[in-house]
Structure formats: structure tokens, C-alpha cells
Structure 1
């Protein structure tokens, strides 16, 4: 395991043309791979964030032009990739799924969004992923030579139990492909990323699509990385860009020694248990 590595967050513009989205992602991965060890894409980057379109754009893992392209990009760039998320067909259902690739281009982990984004803020926004998507049922932590990486997707970040279980499984970096909107983003995006980093004393890397004011669903942007003390190391704006951030894993044991939150939990009074669901 390395003490230091660099991550690149690709805040890319997403359009209706899947081929154009894939080409845009490949260009950003190619640029980022030469300057980083881990490249991260945003949520639903190969299709618009629109429930009615998810089944139309969905691909099976074994027959996916999107994933094949990312696999080749990982090999060409010799880089780890958290491929944001895409709509995935699996056993007759559609999921919001994130695939993790190693430098040889192999899929080493899959996270299917556990908490579906079903909300209704009167006069602001109403959205219901469950009309076309199925919820996943696994907590995802992938062991890599860089570090142990936890994956959650967008709305998952609001559920502290999920991220605490990732930390207890050894995650040192939690990656969040997310597409908060102009209602929830200004209010909650940065506070959630910072507090999850502080609560679990891990690095948080959250990648959003770029903002497109003409889209049906307008993403907030502001991709960012936060350290275990809650400091925002770097934050994107709203346009398409790549941000690069060095990760110093030596911060984690230092902070956990100074402020032993995980050690001081009262497990005699309360416990958090992971359940296996088939």
C-alpha cells in the first residue's frame, strides 16, 4: 500500500448522445491518467440523469460498449478508475451501478446504488428513481494497492450507517459519484462530504457532472475532495474540468490517534451490524 497517491476527478458535461459521452470521458481519462493514480467519473455519465431514459441507455456488464471503453482506457493509461455510475441491466432489472477498474482493465468491484433517490420538495424538485431502477443490497469496499476504497453513489451519502460500515471494513478513501441538484446541492453537498470525512476519519472524493442549465435535471457541480480533518483540499466550479488532489494516507492514523472517534465508540451500548442479503 502506498502512503501517497493522486486522484483526478473528472467533472464532465453529459449530453444525450451516449457515444459523445463515452468519447468525452475517454478524453478526460487519457488526460488525467498521465497525472494521477486514480481517475473518478461522475454519476450517470453516459446518459442524462432522467428516470425514463435509464432503461434505454442501460447495458449489461458482459456486453457493454461503455465498460469495454473504460477497460481499454484503464489499460492504456495504466490507472485505476472508479467509473462513476451508469445504468446497468442485471438479471432483468436496471441498477445505478459503479464499476471499479484496475490498470490491467479488469473490473475489481461493483457498487449498485443502495438508496434510491425518491424525493419530493414542493415547489422545488420531485424525482423518483424507483420508477425504473432497483436498489442494490451490498456495501462495497475494494482493496487496492493504493488503499481500501469504499464506493457510495449520490443519495447513499446521506445515510451515515452505510459509510460508517465502510470505515469499519477498513476504507480509507470513500468515493462518491453524485449528481446533487440546484436545490439540494447548495444546501447539503459540501456539508455532507465534510461531515462524513470527519465522522469516519477518511478521505472523501465526490465527483459530479458539470452543470448544464439546459438539461432536464441540472447537476450542482462542485466536485471536491475532503481530508479526514474535514478540510476541503480542492473544489471544482460548475463547468467541465479535471481537478487533481494528492492523498496522504499518513493523515488517517495521525488524526485517529489525536481524536480517537472509532476507538471511543460505546459498543456496549450500541452496535452497527452488516447483514447479508441474497
Structure 2
């Protein structure tokens, strides 16, 4: 049976990242295959690379990978692992998207463009074509009990909002630290987005204190689905991450949440949840832009 056109099959992959790019790409492909596996007879043909037609099984399916899914979050390795887009990583993920006929938000990768490096999220449509590219806008510069971080020493900042369409769904993109800025999320909501996806890799201190809270706050503010896709924790890593990928509903409810281990979250979402939340409390109509339009002055 075909999925409702207002439904979206969301799959969030929380994978453990190694120092070997080839291993990470193989793992990402394997977990995507695992995530969409089914007794449906067509799956065997797809996994063997023999797809001859598209199936309703994968209709309007969106896979989300974590921030820096192809390489470690290690400032000493960023330049070494940076790629052009398109490049080896995007070529590999594009083939997977085309093979299964699914949308893929490929977390983020270090992107080299001239002399600059960006933390970039790339989106593929069910034909494996790149349909969106978001460069992280806000750099994580922080002095915390667990260490000092200064992303602005390594990365250039993006300066554009990025959206794409998946069927009836309009989706906005942010990367990690972008989630802390409510103005960005509100801009997406005002542009008509039904969901914002944040591939992220919060570290242990801010992860425990702020991760889920920030995701819920952006959902609450904007009556929107919010997805946080994180890597799995590796305690021996130089940068242990919090993990805990999560899906938040437009009522700010936690629909699904992982722990710190490698895992896959699956959920069928419906646009009616967004419509209902906005009808019950019509925040968009109640905004007093006449009072705070000059907030930055």
C-alpha cells in the first residue's frame, strides 16, 4: 500500500565514527541497507544492486546521518579529510540514495572550497542527485570544563539558510551549534518548513546539559518537527560525543531517542501533527513583529 502523501518515513542513523574514511563510508552504507531492510521480496534485488523499479516500501523515505559521519571530529585531521563537493563521499552516498530511491541527508563532512574549509551538510534526492548543500553558519567557540573549542580557527562560516522539498515536506537544515540560535529556526518556520534537521556532535558537557533541551526548544518555539542526528559515543576518542540522537514533535514531545550506542531510529511522521499544533495555538498569527522587528538595533 502506498504511503499517504503527507507521511514521511524518517530514519536516523547513529553510527560510530572511526579514523578511517573508507571504513566510515562502508559502515554508513551498511547501516542504510540495514535500516531499510524488509521481508519484501524486492529488497534482495536492491541490496544486490539489481533494482529494476521503485517500491512503495521506500516511498518518501528520509535517511539522516550524523555530523562528520565520514571522518573524526579532530582538528588535526580536518584539512587531511576535507573534500570537494561533489567528491568521493558525496559520490558514494549519492549512489546509495539512487539505489534505494530515498532521500538522504548526509550528516556533514569537511568541505574544501579554494583555501577555505566548511562544515557542510549535503542532501540527495531519490535519484541520487544533490538537491541542497548547507554550510554550518555558527561556529562552536567555547571554553568549557572539559576543554576549549574554537571551530572558527579551522572552519569558515556559511551564510545562507538552506531548505529542500521531500514530497509535501519542506525541510530546513542546520548543523550542530546552529541549533542554539532560535532566530534561524524561526526563519525556517516562517519560510514554511515542517521540519528542521540538525546533524550534530555535541560533546559530553553540553550534550548532557543542553542537547535535548535545545531540540525541544526549537520545536516548541516553531511548532515544527526537529531532528538531532548524532554519532555514537566512542569513549576512547579524543572527542567523546554525547550521542542520544532524537526526534522531537511539533508539541515539543520526545517521539524517539537513542542512548549513546550505535543505533537506528525509525518513525513515520505525518504533516497533520504540525497543522494541528499550529491550529491549536496559532503562534504565527500572534507574533508581535511591530514590537520586536528591530531587535538587533
TM-score by length of 1: 0.94
Equivalenced residues, count: 271
Q: Which residue of 2 aligns with 1:126?
A: 148
Q: Please say if 1:47 is aligned against 2:50.
A: no
Q: Please say if 1:79 is aligned against 2:102.
A: yes
Unaligned runs of 5+ in 2: 39-57
Q: Could you tell me how far apart the structure 1 residues matched to 2:35 and 2:62 are?
A: 9
Q: Please say if 1:7 is aligned against 2:30.
A: no
Is the deviation greater in 30-39 or in 46-55? 30-39
Deviation at 1:146, TM superposition (A): 4.4
Unaligned runs of 5+ in 1: 274-278
Note the aligned Cα RMSD (angstroms): 1.5
TM-score by length of 2: 0.88
Q: Which residue of 1 aligns with 2:165?
A: 143
Q: Which residue of 1 aligns with 2:202?
A: 180
* Structure number, greater radius of gyration: 2
SS in structure 2 at match of 1:269:
helix
Q: Could you tell me how far apart the structure 2 residues matched to 1:260 and 1:91 are?
A: 45
Deviation at 1:77, TM superposition (A): 1.1
Identify which of 66, 77, 81 aligns with 1:57: 81
Contact kept in structure 2, 1:33 and 1:39, CA below 8 Å: no
Q: Which residue of 2 aligns with 1:166?
A: 188
SS in structure 2 at match of 1:115:
coil
Deviation at 1:91, TM superposition (A): 2.9
Deviations 1:182-201 (A, max 9, x none): 10001000111111101000
Q: Could you tell me how far apart the structure 2 residues matched to 1:76 and 1:97 are?
A: 23
Q: Could you tell me how far apart the structure 1 residues matched to 2:233 and 2:107 are?
A: 16
Q: Which residue of 2 aligns with 1:156?
A: 178
Contact kept in structure 2, 1:51 and 1:131, CA below 8 Å: no
Q: Could you tell me how far apart the structure 1 residues matched to 2:202 and 2:97 are?
A: 27
Q: Which residue of 2 aligns with 1:112?
A: 135
